[in-house]
C-alpha cells in the first residue's frame, strides 16, 4: 500500500500560522509531512517554539516531518537550538 505525504507550503510572512496548519495536518498524515520553507527567510522565537511542539507531536504519532528548501541561516538557527535532529531535510 502506498502512502502519500502531506505537503504544505510555509509562507515567509506567516510562519507560525503555517506551522500550526502543519500540526493539524499531523492528525490525518499517514507517513510524512513535507513543509516547504523555500519562501521563509527568517525565523523568530515563536516559530521555533511552534516547531519544537510540532516535532514532539510528530514523534508521538510516528510521523516524519521533512523540511524542504531551508536556507542556510535558518538551518544554523535550528542547529543552534538543537532541532535539526528532529526533522529531515530536502534541498
Q: How many domains does the chain have?
A: 1
Residue 42: CATH number of its domain? 3.30.750.24
Say if 47 falls within a structural domain. yes
Residue 46: inside a domain? yes
Q: Please report whether residue 32 resides in a domain.
A: yes
C-alpha–C-alpha distance, residues 61 and 63, integer Å: 5
Task: Report yes or no on 1 lying in a domain.
Answer: no
- Predicted confidence (pLDDT) per residue in 48-90, tens digit: 999 999 999 999 998 999 999 999 999 999 999 999 999 999 9
**3 state SS of 33:** strand
**Domain presence at residue 85:** yes
What is the chain's Cα-based Rg? Answer: 12
Q: What is the pLDDT of residue 46?
A: 97
- The range of the structural domain enclosing residue 34 comes to 6-90
Amino acid at each position: 500500500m502506498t502512502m502519500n505525504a502531506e505537503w504544505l507550503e510555509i509562507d515567509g510572512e506567516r510562519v507560525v500560522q503555517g506551522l500550526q496548519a502543519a500540526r493539524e495536518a499531523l492528525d490525518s498524515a499517514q507517513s510524512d509531512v513535507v513543509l516547504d520553507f523555500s519562501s521563509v527567510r527568517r525565523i523568530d522565537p515563536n516559530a521555533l517554539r511552534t516547531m519544537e511542539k510540532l516535532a514532539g507531536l510528530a514523534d508521538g504519532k510516528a510521523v516524519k516531518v521533512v523540511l524542504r528548501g531551508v536556507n542556510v541561516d535558518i538551518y544554523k538557527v535550528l542547529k543552534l537550538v538543537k532541532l535539526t535532529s528532529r526533522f529531515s531535510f530536502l534541498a
